[in-house]
Structure 1
Amino acid sequence: MKFLAELRRRNVIRVAGLYLVGAWLLVQIAETLLPIFKTPDWVLQSLVVLLALGFVPALVLAWVFEMTPQGLRRESEVEPPANTVDHTARKLDIAVIVLLVAVAAMMLWGRSGSGVPSAGEIAAVPSSANTGDEPAPALVDAPLRSIAVLAFDDLSADQDQAYFAEGVSEELLNVLARIDGLKVAARTSSFKFKDGDADIGEIGRALGVDAVLEGSVRKSGDQMRITAQLIKVSDGFHLWSESYDRKVDNIFAVQDEIATAIVDALKLQLDIEEETAGRTTNVAAYDLYLRGRQEGRQPTREGLLKAIDLYEQALALDDEFAAAYGGIAEAWVWLEDYGGFRATEAFPRAEQAARRALELDPQSAEAKTAMAMVTDRYYNDQQRAAALFEDILATSPNHVVAYNLYADALLDTGEPRRAVEVQRRAVALDPLSVFYRARLASRLTTNRRLDEAEQVLGDILRDAPGNDYAEEEMASLRRMQGRLADAAAHLVRVHAERPGDPYSAAWLAILGVEMGDGAMADAWVAASRARGADNRWELLARRAIAEARGDAAALDVLADASGGYVGAYLRASAAIGREEWPAARRALNDALRLGSYREGQPLTLQNVAPLILLTWLDDREGKPEADARLAELTSFLERIEADGGQVVNNMSGSIELARVAAIAGDRERSLGYLREAMDEEGFRQAWLVERDPVFEAWRDDAGFKALAARMRSLARDEHAKVVAAGLHRP
C-alpha cells in the first residue's frame, strides 16, 4: 500500500494514463492521415513500436522527476510543499480529461461516418472494425439513384495486390449493377480516377452519379484490412464508412457486408444470396479469377489467352465457379474478333463455357451476353440475338458490354438509328471509355452521320493522341469519305499498335482491291493471315479479292473455309460464275436457311445478298416469285435509307438498292443509287458494276461504264498517295 501511495504521490499513475490515452489518440490520427499521403506501412508500424517502447521510460521519468514552479527537478533534490504535488496532479488531470474528450469526439466522428476510415496496419492498434453483426444505418433522406465504384487503393507493403484491390471493387460494382433502378457507372470510367487527384465533386460530375464508393485494401499474409466509404457527391457528406479486419478467407463475407451496407444506406433492395449465387467459396480460385480479369482487360490475343488459362486454373480448384466459365465464354467471343481465331473454333468454345455458366448462375450477364453473340455471329439468327440482348438489359441494365454488342445486332437487323441510340446508352454508362466512344463514332459512320463521327473521334484523339480504337474508326470514316490514302495511314498505325490483331491488315488488303492494286491486296492479306489462319477478317479480304477477280475456284475454297451461311453464299456465287444455275439455286436456299430467313418474317441484313441473287435467278428464268421478292427487298432497303442509311463492311443500303433496281430494269434508279454510294459513301468498287451478274443487262450501257470509270479514276488518285507514302506493302 505504501508503494501504491508513493506512485500516486509522484503522479506515476496519472502519467501512465496520460501516456496511454495520448498514444492511442496519436496512432488513430496517424492511421487516418498517413494513407492519404500513401506512406509505406513501416511508418505507422515504427510509430506504434516507438510509443510502446517509450511507455516504461515515461513511468521511470515520472518516478524520478518532479515538475516544480522552477521546472523539471530530480525528486530527491527537492522538498516540495504539499501544494506543489497537488498543483502538478491537477495539471495532469486536466491533460487527461482534454485527451479523453478528444478521444470521445474522434469516436463519435468515426461512428457518424463523417470522417475518413482507418487504413492502418492490420491489428497494430485497437480498431473499431465492423464485425458484420449490425448493418450500417440508412442515412439518406431520399434514395440516390446512381453510384460509381472507384478502384480500391492497394496499401499493401509490397504494392503487389493491385489486381486484388481492383477485383474487390469490381465485384462490388457488379453486384450493385444488378439493382433495379440504380445506375452504376461502368468500370472503365470509374477506374480511370485511380491514382489521380480529382476530388469527389469532379468525379461525380464526370461520371454523372450521385454517390461514390471508394476504399483501400491492405493485405499481409493471410490477413487483410478493407476500408470503404460512401460519399454523397453534392456535398461531400460521408453517408457510410467502415473498416474490416479479417482473414483473407473471409473476403466474400466482407464483400457481402459492404454491398449490404451500401444498399441499406441508399435505401434500396438487394437479395445478396441470389446475386452472388455463382460465386466460388475457394479463395485461391477467386484469386486466379481476379488475375484472369486483369489479363483479359484489353482485347489482345496474348492477354485473352492468358486470361483463359487463369480461369481454367480457377476451375481446377472449383469446377462450379460460374464466373470463371463466364470469363472463358467472354474471352473466346473477343478472340474471334481481336485474336485471329476462326469462328468455328472460337464460338463453340464460347458457347460451351456460357452454357455451363448459366447452369450454375442463370443470371450471369457475362454468360448471357456471350450466348447472344454466338447466336448472332455463329448461328446467324439476328432476330433471336436481339431478343436475347433485350432480356439481358432488362435484368442487368448496367451491363455496358451488352449495349455495345446489342448495337451490332441492331445493325444486322437493319436498324442503324437504333444502333446509334443504344451505343449512346453504353457511353452514358461508361463516359470515359475510349472504346465505347470510338464505337459510337463507328455507329455514326455506319449511319452516314460523318460530321458527328468526326467530332467524336477528334475529341478522343485530342484527349488520347494515337489511340488505336480511334485510329481504327478514323480509318473507316476516311474510307467513307473516299480518302483511301488517309484510311490506309490510320490502318497501318493500328496494325503496328496491335501485334495480334488481323483486322487492319485485312482492311488494307481491301483498300488494295478498291484501288486496283492486286499486289498490295495479296501482301496485306498475307499479313492478316499471319495473325491467325482463316480468321474472320482475312476471309473477308480474300472474298473481296476473289469477287473482284471473278475467281470462282477461290470462292469455292473460301466457302469451305467459312462454312455456314457465308460458305453457302460463296458457293452460290462460284456456281453462278460457272453458270451452274441449279447448284447456285440450291446454295442460295441453303444460305437463306442458315441465315435464319423466315418467309413472312422481317428480313435481316444477311438475308439481302442471297435474296437478291435468288431474285435475279428467278427473273432471268421468268419465275413469278421475282416480283414479290423485289417488293420485299425494296421495302426493307428503303426503310434503312429512311433511317439515315447504313454501310457495313462492303455492303450498303444504296448499293443493294442499286442492284435491286437493276434487276427490276429501272436504269435511272440503279444509276442514282450507285452515284449516291460513290459520292456519299466513298464507294470505289468499280468491279461490282463490271462483274456482278445483276448488272449483266447494263454491262455495255454508257452511263454504267462512265460511272465505273469515274470510280477507278478516283481510286487511282488515292493509290498514288498510298504508294508515295510507302503504305502499299507491310
Structure 2
Amino acid sequence: MAPHSGGANPPARFFRFGDVEVDAAGHVLTRAGVPQQVEPKAFAVLLALLERPGELVPRDELLDQVWGHRHVTPGVLTRAIAQLRAALDDDSHHPRYIQTRHALGYAFIGELEPPPMERRPEPALEAAPAPPPGLIQAAGPDRAPGVLVARWLRPSWVLPVLAALVLAGALWWSERRAAPVRPAEPSIAVMPFINLGADRDRDYFAEGLAVELHDALAGVEGLKVAAPVSPADAVELGTDVRRLGALLGVATVLNASVRHEGNRVRITTRLSDCASGFTLWSQSYDRELSDIFDTQAEIAGEVVQSLLGAMPGQRERLAGRLQPTRSTAAFDAYLRGLQQLRLGGGAGGGVDSAINWFGQALEEDGGFIRAQAGICRSRLVRFADVRDAQAFRDAQTACALAREMAPASAEIDLAFGDLHRVSGDFEQALAHYARARRDPARAPAALVGLGRLHAARGEHARAAEYFDQALALSPGNGIIHGRLGVEHYLAGNLDAAISSFRRAVELRPEDPLLWSSLGGVYLVAGHNELAEQAFERSLAIRPTAPVLSNYADLQAQQGDLDAAVTLLRRALELDADDPLIWGNLGDALLANPVTAGQAPAAYARAAGIADEYLQINAGDATMTAALGWYRVNLGEQRRALALVQRSSELGDRRADVAVFNALTTAAAGDRAAALDWLDRARESGLPESRIRSNPLLARIVSAAGGSGTAGTGVDKPARGEGAKLESADEQR
C-alpha cells in the first residue's frame, strides 16, 4: 500500500499486517482475531503511523496531531507507543512494526496488505434528506442500498415522473435548508474553536473566543449550555455530534474554526443537530480584527435565533456582553490570560502568567472590568494552591478592586462567595452566592459554591442537592461531577464517589486531578490495581502534587516506605505549601526506624503552614485535627490535646478527623481515647483494611489485643490524612 500523501485519495480506513487488523472506522484492533484494548490516544498514534508507512513521523508532529497541544509532555507519547507494542506483540529491541528513531520520532515498518473489498466503508448517508413520501428503500442482489424505487411506477412513466420527483426533492431540500427544524430542547455545547492559522502559538485566540461565546450564551434565559470543553478533552471526545450530544446532554453542538492573520480574522461556524447529525446552519465571517466583537455577537445571535426563535432585544444584550472593552490589544491580552488560567500548573505556573496578562490588559484599558475580575479569579486559584495568609490577602485586595469597578457583577459576587466560604464566614458566603445565582451564566458555579458551603458544615444531603441542581443547568460538567464525588466520599458513600469520578473523567479525560481523585477513592475501597492505573494515567497527563501524594500512600500501604518518601518529596517540589503533604512525609519518615529522626523537621513545616491557614479558616475540622497530630510529634502534648478537643467540637463524625485524633491521643499515651476515636472512625465507615495497612494505626489496635469491629468504607487516612481529592477549580 502506498503511503498516504494527502492528495485526492482519502487515507485507508482498514489496515492489515501480519496477524493484525485495524479497523479505523470501528476503532477496533485485533491480533490473531482477538480484540486488543488500547486507549483512544494510542489508537490515534497507530493510525497516524499507518497512514504514512515507512516514513519517519516526527515526535512533535505526533504530539500536535494526537494531543493537539505541545504543552503535553513527551512521556504521553512514549506511554502510547509502549501500549501499542504490547497490543501488537512488538519487541522494541527487534521491532517488526514500530521503529523508534531516538530523539526524532517513530515509523511503521511492517508490510501492509491491501484491504479486503468487503471492509471498505460505504458512503455516509446520515446527512442525506429523508426520502419523499411514496418511495421505499430497496436493497438486494441487483440493487445497491440507498437506491430509491417507486412502488407504483411503470416503465413508460419512469423518466417524466423521475424528473418531477427530482424537482420536488430539490424544492423540499431548499425549503429544509432555509428553515431547519428547531431541536426539541434549546440546549447547546460550544466546542473549542480550532486555530487554522500558521502560528500555533495563537491557539489562545481561538480558544478564548469560544469561552467568551459560551459565557454569553450561558446568560440567555431558556437556553441550556453545556460546560466548557477544554481543547485537550475535545480531542479525546472526538467529533461525532451524536455521541457528543449524548455525553454532554445537549441537543446541538457548535463548532468553529478561526484563521487569524494580520488584521483579518476568518471564522467558519457550524451548528449541528445531535439527534440527526444534520447541520442546522453554517456560516463564514471574513472580517477585520477590529470587528471581532460585532462578529461574535452576530454568531451568538444566529445560535439564539436557531434554538429559541426571535427574541426582541436579545442581539443587543449579547453584543453588550461580547464587547467587554474597546481595545483589541486589551482583549488579546485578556484572552492570553484566560488560556493561562485554564492551563493552571500550580505554584509558579499558569496562574502567575495569567495575572501578568490580565495586568497588561488593564494597562491597555484601565476600565476593563473583566480583566480585573480575571486577576481576582487568579488570586483565588493561587490561594487554593498555596493556602497561606498572604495569598488570601492578595485575593481579597484583587476582588475588592473588581468590586469597585463593577458593584453589581455576579462574577465578583461569586468570587466573594468563595472568599467568605474558605474563611468560614457562612452567612456572608451564602448572601454572595445567592446574588450570583440570579445570573444564568453564573448560576451553576454559585450552586456549586452553595453545595461546598453546606458540605463544610456536614450537611451532605443538602450539598448533594445543590450539586444536582448545578448539573441540571450545566450538563456534561465534569468538574461538578468531581465535586459531587468529593461530597459522596466525605459522606461515606464510596460506590457513589467512584461512580461520580468515573463520570467526571469520562467528560474530562485529560484532567490529571480528576484521575488522581478517582485513584484515591479506588485506594480507599481496596482496589489497588485500579488505583495504580488511575495514578499512572494522571501522571502521564501531567505530574501534580495530589497524585504524587496519593501514589505515595499506595507505596506505603504496600510497605515500600522509601518509594513513598521519594514520591512525597517530588510532590513538595511542585507544591511546597501543602501542610498535609508535609505531614504525610513526616508519617512516612516516622514509620521507618532508619529515617525516623528526620520526621520532626517535616512535622514542624506542616505545623507552621497549618497554623497560618487556621488563622484564616478556624472552622476546618480536618486541618485542626491534623495540626494536633503534628504538634504531638513535636513534643507539644498539651497543645495537641487541646486541638483534639477543638476538632471534636467542629466535626467529630468525620473519619479523617477521628483518625488524626486516634493517632494524637495514642501518641499522648491515652490508649482508651485512641481506641474510642478508632471506633468513631469505624462508625463513619472507615474500612478495617485501612487500619490494618497503616503501621501507626495497626500499632494502636495491636496494643489493645486486636479489639475492634470492621467497618464499611469511606474516608481514607493516608498515614493519618484523607485522600487528596481535587479537581480543576470552578473559577478557572
In 2, the alpha carbon distance for the partners of 1:235 and 1:701 equals 67
Q: Which residue of 2 aligns with 1:165?
A: 206
1:506 to 549, 562, 572: 549
CA contact (8 A) 2:285 2:295 kept: yes
CA contact (8 A) 1:218 1:224 kept: yes
SS of equivalent residue, structure 2 residue 687: helix
Answer yes or no: is 1:293 the counterpart of 2:338: yes
Q: Which residue of 2 aligns with 1:616?
A: none
User: 1:213-228 maps to which residues of 2 (within 5 A)?
Assistant: 213-228=254-269
Answer yes or no: is 1:393 the counterpart of 2:437: yes
Answer yes or no: is 1:563 the counterpart of 2:611: yes
User: 1:263-342 maps to which residues of 2 (within 5 A)?
Assistant: 263-265=304-306, 266=308, 267-268=310-311, 270=314, 272=317, 276=321, 279-301=324-346, 302-337=349-384, 341-342=386-387
Q: Which residue of 2 aligns with 1:57?
A: none
Sort the Cα spacing of 1:169 and 1:546 in 2 relative to 1 into closer, same or farther, 3 A.
same
SS of equivalent residue, structure 1 residue 224: strand
CA contact (8 A) 1:219 1:225 kept: yes
User: 1:119-134 maps to which residues of 2 (within 5 A)?
Assistant: none
Sort the Cα spacing of 1:581 and 1:400 in 2 relative to 1 into closer, same or farther, 3 A.
same
In 2, the alpha carbon distance for the partners of 1:190 and 1:709 equals 45
Q: What code does the residue aligned with 1:257 have?
A: E
In 2, the alpha carbon distance for the partners of 1:571 and 1:669 equals 20
In 2, the alpha carbon distance for the partners of 1:393 and 1:167 equals 24
2:453 to 384, 387, 409: 409
Q: Which residue of 2 aligns with 1:611?
A: 646
521-530 vs 310-319, which moves further: 521-530
CA deviation after TM superposition for structure 1 residue 289, in Å: 1.8
Answer yes or no: is 1:534 the counterpart of 2:577: yes
CA contact (8 A) 1:200 1:212 kept: yes
Q: Which residue of 2 aligns with 1:477?
A: 521
SS of equivalent residue, structure 2 residue 258: strand
SS of equivalent residue, structure 1 residue 472: helix
Q: Which runs of no fewer than 5 residues in structure 1 stay unpaired? A: 1-101, 117-138, 589-608, 614-628, 639-645, 692-698, 719-730
CA deviation after TM superposition for structure 1 residue 518, in Å: 6.6
CA deviation after TM superposition for structure 1 residue 188, in Å: 0.9
In 2, the alpha carbon distance for the partners of 1:361 and 1:708 equals 57
TM-score by length of 2: 0.56
CA contact (8 A) 1:354 1:370 kept: yes
Q: How far does the alpha carbon of each residue in 1:450-491 deviate from its partner, in whole angstroms, 9 at most, with x for none? A: 334445556777899897345412332233224668756754
In 2, the alpha carbon distance for the partners of 1:361 and 1:388 equals 14
Q: How far does the alpha carbon of each residue in 1:249-288 deviate from its partner, in whole angstroms, 9 at most, with x for none? A: 1211222333345445524464627963981211012112
Q: Which residue of 2 aligns with 1:79?
A: none
SS of equivalent residue, structure 2 residue 458: coil
CA deviation after TM superposition for structure 1 residue 222, in Å: 1.5
1:182 to 212, 215, 223: 223
In 2, the alpha carbon distance for the partners of 1:531 and 1:157 equals 34
Q: Which residue of 2 aligns with 1:352?
A: 397
Sort the Cα spacing of 1:162 and 1:147 in 2 relative to 1 into closer, same or farther, 3 A.
same
Sort the Cα spacing of 1:249 and 1:423 in 2 relative to 1 into closer, same or farther, 3 A.
same
2:177 to 110, 114, 121: 114
CA contact (8 A) 1:351 1:370 kept: no
In 2, the alpha carbon distance for the partners of 1:565 and 1:195 equals 38
CA deviation after TM superposition for structure 1 residue 187, in Å: 1.4
Q: CA RMSD in A?
A: 5.4
Could you say which structure has the larger radius of gyration?
1
Q: How far does the alpha carbon of each residue in 1:615-673 deviate from its partner, in whole angstroms, 9 at most, with x for none? A: xxxxxxxxxxxxxx7xxx7xx767xxxxxxx65xx3369989x99xxx9x999986754
Q: How far does the alpha carbon of each residue in 1:52-104 deviate from its partner, in whole angstroms, 9 at most, with x for none? A: xxxxxxxxxxxxxxxxxxxxxxxxxxxxxxxxxxxxxxxxxxxxxxxxxx9xx
CA contact (8 A) 2:659 2:678 kept: no
241-250 vs 313-322, which moves further: 241-250
Q: What code does the residue aligned with 1:561 have?
A: I
CA contact (8 A) 2:190 2:254 kept: yes
In 2, the alpha carbon distance for the partners of 1:425 and 1:701 equals 48
Answer yes or no: is 1:255 the counterpart of 2:296: yes
In 2, the alpha carbon distance for the partners of 1:509 and 1:204 equals 39
In the alignment of these two chains, the number of paired residues is: 523
Q: What code does the residue aligned with 2:336 have?
A: R
SS of equivalent residue, structure 2 residue 342: coil
Sort the Cα spacing of 1:517 and 1:219 in 2 relative to 1 into closer, same or farther, 3 A.
closer
Sort the Cα spacing of 1:682 and 1:421 in 2 relative to 1 into closer, same or farther, 3 A.
farther
CA deviation after TM superposition for structure 1 residue 177, in Å: 0.8
In 2, the alpha carbon distance for the partners of 1:114 and 1:180 equals 27
Sort the Cα spacing of 1:333 and 1:545 in 2 relative to 1 into closer, same or farther, 3 A.
farther
Sort the Cα spacing of 1:511 and 1:566 in 2 relative to 1 into closer, same or farther, 3 A.
farther
In 2, the alpha carbon distance for the partners of 1:332 and 1:547 equals 35
CA deviation after TM superposition for structure 1 residue 526, in Å: 2.8
Sort the Cα spacing of 1:709 and 1:434 in 2 relative to 1 into closer, same or farther, 3 A.
closer
Sort the Cα spacing of 1:277 and 1:345 in 2 relative to 1 into closer, same or farther, 3 A.
farther
CA contact (8 A) 1:506 1:525 kept: yes
Q: Which residue of 2 aligns with 1:129?
A: none
Q: How far does the alpha carbon of each residue in 1:310-352 deviate from its partner, in whole angstroms, 9 at most, with x for none? A: 22322222232222233333334334555xx353343333333
In 1, the alpha carbon distance for the partners of 2:609 and 2:652 equals 30
Sort the Cα spacing of 1:252 and 1:460 in 2 relative to 1 into closer, same or farther, 3 A.
closer
In 2, the alpha carbon distance for the partners of 1:525 and 1:246 equals 52
Q: Which runs of no fewer than 5 residues in structure 2 stay unpaired? A: 1-166, 619-623, 720-732
2:489 to 423, 427, 445: 445
CA contact (8 A) 1:217 1:224 kept: yes
CA contact (8 A) 1:289 1:310 kept: yes
Q: What code does the residue aligned with 2:340 have?
A: E
SS of equivalent residue, structure 2 residue 584: helix
Q: How far does the alpha carbon of each residue in 1:278-314 deviate from its partner, in whole angstroms, 9 at most, with x for none? A: 8121101211222232233233233333333322322
Q: What code does the residue aligned with 1:353 have?
A: A
Q: What code does the residue aligned with 1:562 have?
A: A
CA contact (8 A) 2:682 2:710 kept: no
Q: What code does the residue aligned with 1:321 have?
A: F
CA contact (8 A) 1:163 1:294 kept: yes
CA contact (8 A) 1:187 1:430 kept: no
Q: How far does the alpha carbon of each residue in 1:667-697 deviate from its partner, in whole angstroms, 9 at most, with x for none? A: 9986754444443683455746978xxxxxx
In 2, the alpha carbon distance for the partners of 1:582 and 1:419 equals 36
Sort the Cα spacing of 1:464 and 1:196 in 2 relative to 1 into closer, same or farther, 3 A.
closer
Sort the Cα spacing of 1:242 and 1:478 in 2 relative to 1 into closer, same or farther, 3 A.
closer
Q: Which residue of 2 aligns with 1:651?
A: 657
Sort the Cα spacing of 1:219 and 1:361 in 2 relative to 1 into closer, same or farther, 3 A.
same
Q: What code does the residue aligned with 2:219 have?
A: R
CA deviation after TM superposition for structure 1 residue 496, in Å: 6.3
TM-score by length of 1: 0.57
SS of equivalent residue, structure 1 residue 219: strand
SS of equivalent residue, structure 2 residue 609: helix
Q: Between the two proteins, what is the percent identity of the paired residues?
A: 28
Sort the Cα spacing of 1:281 and 1:654 in 2 relative to 1 into closer, same or farther, 3 A.
same
CA contact (8 A) 1:278 1:321 kept: no
CA contact (8 A) 1:190 1:207 kept: no
